[in-house]
C-alpha cells in the first residue's frame, strides 16, 4: 500500500479469528486486526514476503 495503485485479495473463511490465528502460526503478521463493521468481519494480514491479503466472513 505505499504505491499509487494496489489491490488486496479477500479470502472468504468460515471463522476470521481462527483463520488469523492459523495464518500467524504459519508466519503471517497482522496488519489490521479483526474488525466487525456490522455487515462483515475481516482482518488484513501480511504473508512472510510482505504481501497483504485479507480474510472475511459475512455476519449472520
CATH of domain 9-58: 3.10.180.10
CB 55 within 8 Å of CB 23: yes
Q: For 21-58, what is each residue's pLDDT tens digit?
A: 999 999 999 999 999 999 999 999 999 999 999 999 99
Q: Terminus-to-terminus CA distance in the chain, angstroms?
A: 31
Query: With 80 as the cut, is the pLDDT of residue 5 above it?
Result: no
pTM value is 0.87
Higher pLDDT, 15 or 6: 15
pLDDT at 8: 92
Q: For the chain, give every domain's residue range.
A: 9-58
Query: With 70 as the cut, is the pLDDT of residue 1 above it?
Result: no
Closest to 55 (Cα-Cα) out of 1, 18, 6, 2 = 18
Amino acid at each position: 500500500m505505499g504505491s499509487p495503485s494496489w489491490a488486496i485479495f479477500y479470502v472468504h473463511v468460515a471463522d476470521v479469528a481462527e483463520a488469523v490465528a492459523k495464518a500467524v502460526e504459519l508466519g503471517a503478521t497482522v496488519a489490521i486486526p479483526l474488525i466487525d463493521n456490522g455487515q462483515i468481519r475481516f482482518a488484513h494480514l501480511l504473508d512472510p514476503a510482505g504481501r497483504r491479503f485479507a480474510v472475511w466472513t459475512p455476519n449472520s
